[in-house]
Structure formats: structure tokens, C-alpha cells
Structure 1
Amino acid sequence: MKVSIVIPAKNESAAIGKTIEQIQQLQLAHEIIVVNDGSTDQTQQVAESAGAKVLTHPYSKGNGAAIKTGARTAAGDIIIFMDADGQHDPQDIPHLLKKIEQGYDLVVGARQKGSQASIGRGIANSLYNNLATYMTEHPVEDLTSGFRAVRAEKFREFLYLLPNGFSYPTTSTMAFFRAGYSVTYVPIHAAKRIGKSHIQPLKDGVRFFLIIFKIATLFSPLKMFLPIAVFLFMMATGWYGYTLWDAGRFTNMSALLYTGSIMIFLMGLISEQVTTLMYKDRN
């Protein structure tokens, strides 16, 4: 099987050359594609000098958009996605490919303890993983890792679902679970990145909450909405029991809680049907 390496890069001239050189030393890749996402430094020149095929966006479209550009262009049967900033060790690529050879469709490099860039991001990733585990009923070791190997044909089925921003790993992982494809993990250690991070704490704090809801809606919305509906229904029943005993009447608060419970359940039911249509076989 041909292997394509796709590396999204934005202003990564300090690290991209070394990353490409280390990949070439493995002699595993049919091609190395660097998607230059509107860089304002020498990323394109450094990558081309190192021997990579460079695709350039005229302006920055986002990490997910770069991934989609690379996936559409890649000629390999297997695509390896990895970062250009030196966090991902190319020596782990054979371990990912070994799992693909065993029959898996998506292999994710799961970052071990000590790999997180900050305590805050470590806590956020832990919450992502726990929620995804609950939704899929399968252990999810690292939902947001950008170091992964996929079968190209199956990955392209979900390109229309992928966002242009940083949450493409979350979306693709949940899409593979939803489609019933085989997903597994390989332990890796993520090193400290070379250069300046593109993460913005305030902006990405908002993104954190959006991803939480996106995880739910991508896989099974009803599984997220139903517990909330049941909780409101129990509150309504408890309040009704109290007011019936205390004042002998049915109050507006009980009616509001019952109505809210029914509305949330129906929203979940409708969202479940919409999600099913999203994953309908487009072929």
C-alpha cells in the first residue's frame, strides 16, 4: 500500500525542514505533502528545499481546511496526518502503520501523561475523552490528537463533515465510530513544539464548549439530550408532589419543567434523525 504523509503548516519554517528530513529517513512514504496554510514566513521554501510537495493556500483557511486539501491530493492508500511543529515523532509512524496492517481503519497516536502543553489543555482533553467514551461506549484515549493514520478512501467519505478549524480530529474520530469503522490507539509522547503556538486561550476556551456539544451531535444527540430531559421530568414530578402536598395544587413551575422536559426530548429526537441523514452513504 502507498503511504502519503500530509502535514498542515502555518509559519512553521523553524521546524518543517527537520520534520521532513526525519520522515524521509524512514523510507516509508510514497509522498510527503506539506499544505502551506497562508504562511507569512519561509515555510514553503524550506519545505520544498527539503523535498516535500507543497500545496499553498493563498490565505490562512484553518488547520482543518489544510487537512482536507491534503487528503484530496494524496495519492496513497494510507494517509498519515501529523503536525509540522516537531511535537510528533516520525519514528512512531511504523507503529501506526502496523495497526493499519492489522485491519484497523483509523489509528490515533494517543499522547501519554507529560505530553500536554499545559495543565488546562490536559484537563480539557480529559473531558473530551470521557465524554466521547460515554457517547461511543468504547474507550477513547485521545480524541484531539492530530497524529493519525487512516485509510484514505474511508477518510474522504467524511470530508464534507470536517470543519476548517482545529477540531478536525474530534470530528473525524466520531465519524469513524458512527460509521462502524475500526478505531484504535498507539501510545506516543508529544514533544514541546518548536516555535510559537497558534492556540489562543480565550478564543479556544469558547471552542472547548462548542466541541463538547459537537461531540454529542456528531455521534448520538439523543444520548446527550435524554438525561437532561429525564432530569427535568424528575424535578417537575418532585415539585408537583411537594406543591400538591403543601398547597393541593399544580403550579406553573411544574408545568414549565414538564414542558421543558418534553421539548428537550423532542429536540434530541429530531437531532438524532438529522444526524442519521448526515451519515447516509453519499455513494
Structure 2
Amino acid sequence: MDTSSAIAELQNLPHLTILDLASPLLNRASASKTRHSDASDASNRANLTPALLAADLAHYRDLFSKLRFSYVEQVTKERFLRAITSDPPEFVDGSANAALEQKLRVDKAGLKEKKDELKVLIGELEEQGRSLAARYETIQLQTAQLEALPAEIEHLQETIDTLQSQQEPTSTNPSLALPLQPTLDLLAEREQQLSDLDRQIAALQASMPGKKRDVEDLRDELAPLQMRKMKAVQEAQDARRRRQDGNGIGDELEERGRWLRGVEAGLRGMLEV
């Protein structure tokens, strides 16, 4: 079953009313007599709101209270007139009044109990009615949303087709053609690598002042060696010049120069410069 068929089936469901739900509980005689009047009343009240129904209920309660008072008054007058006009007149003694009062007390207690039960039942029915009304409104809203879904799906499909037609040529880089989840995984991996690099850079930046101090110390230690090197080079040059001049002390100076060069190489290896 497609979406359109499902929506059409939901729309063709019978419209239920309170009278339709309550009709099996009514006796057949009263139902047959009031069928047409109930149907017309249901059609007239189909569009009533809960506020209007509550106002009608309060009106009818007030009306029935007045009618009950009028009925009791009329029945009392009728009985009183019948008692004084009958032949012989009806006389009631105190015991009969006491028995009647006791019966009335019992009847009132039973009536009060029935009223309490009816009040609880009405409260449960009202709560269930509110729940059903909320569910009905939800179903109506969902039905409206379902009716709008096919048009939205068609519009989205047209948008997808348009975007695919306007899409640039695919890249030769396989990383740019990954699905969503592998792309997210690759992004998380690259972000983790960037975080590691940032930590390494921060650690190196934190150690730079100490390295600079070490370099300054090595430069301070290297300065005397440079001076000695320059002096040794100068002496070697002087010795070469004297040896060329034939003074006879060139071998000693050459040996001293080799010793100084060895010392210099050893110091450079120790200082890593």
C-alpha cells in the first residue's frame, strides 16, 4: 500500500460521535423513538467546541435544577390538595411521619452515594474524553502532515536532481569521494593529529628558553676556544713562514698545530657545535 492509498483510507474512516458510541447502551424503544432527533442534534453539534459544550452543560444543569424544584413543588401541592379533599380526609400520625422521615433519610443517603459514584464516573469519562480528543487532534495533525509529505518528497527529489546536475566533476582525490561516516572518521583522525602537533609545538616553545640559555652558555665557552684557534692559526702561519725562511723550527710548530687542531675537534664534539 502506497502513501496516497493509506491517506485516503484514513480520510474515509467513519466519523464517530458521542451519540453513536452510546447508542448500544440505550434501550431499543427509546432508541427507535429518538433516532432522527439524535441524528439531527449530532449533526448540529458536530462543530461545537469544548467551551460551548461546557456552557451548554452548565445551562442544562441549572435548567434541570429549576425543573426539579418545580416538580417537587407541584407534586407536594397535588398531594396536599388530594389529602384535604378526599372523603374521608387522610390523616397522618407522628409514627407515619417518623417512618417516612427515616425512609427519606435512607433514600437520601443512597442517592448521595449514587451521586458520588456518578461524579467519579463522570470525572473518569471527562478525563478519557480529553485524552481521546488530544489523540484525535494528534491524528488529524499527523494526517495533514502525511498529506503534505508526497509534495515535499517530490520537491526534495527535484532539488536533489538539480544539485546533481550542477555538481562539479568528481575529484581524483579518493578522500573527497568518501561517504558521510568515513568522512567524519577521517576528519576526527586529522583533528587528532592536529591536536598532537599543537601539543608538540607548545612543548617545543616551552623548552626554547632553556635551549637558548644553553646556546648562550656554549657560545661563552666557545669564545675562548675561538681566540685560541685564531692564535694557533696565526702561530702556524708564522711557523710556516719561518720554516720557509729556513730558521729550523717549523717541525715543532707543525706538531703544536696538529695538537691544537685535535684539541679543537675534541671540544667541538663535546659541545656539539
Fold shared, TM-score > 0.5 on shorter chain = no
**Whose helix proportion is higher, 1 or 2?**
2
Q: Which one has a bigger Cα radius of gyration?
A: 2
Q: Which has the higher contact order (CA 8 A, sep 6+)?
A: 1
TM-score by length of 1: 0.18
Higher strand share: 1
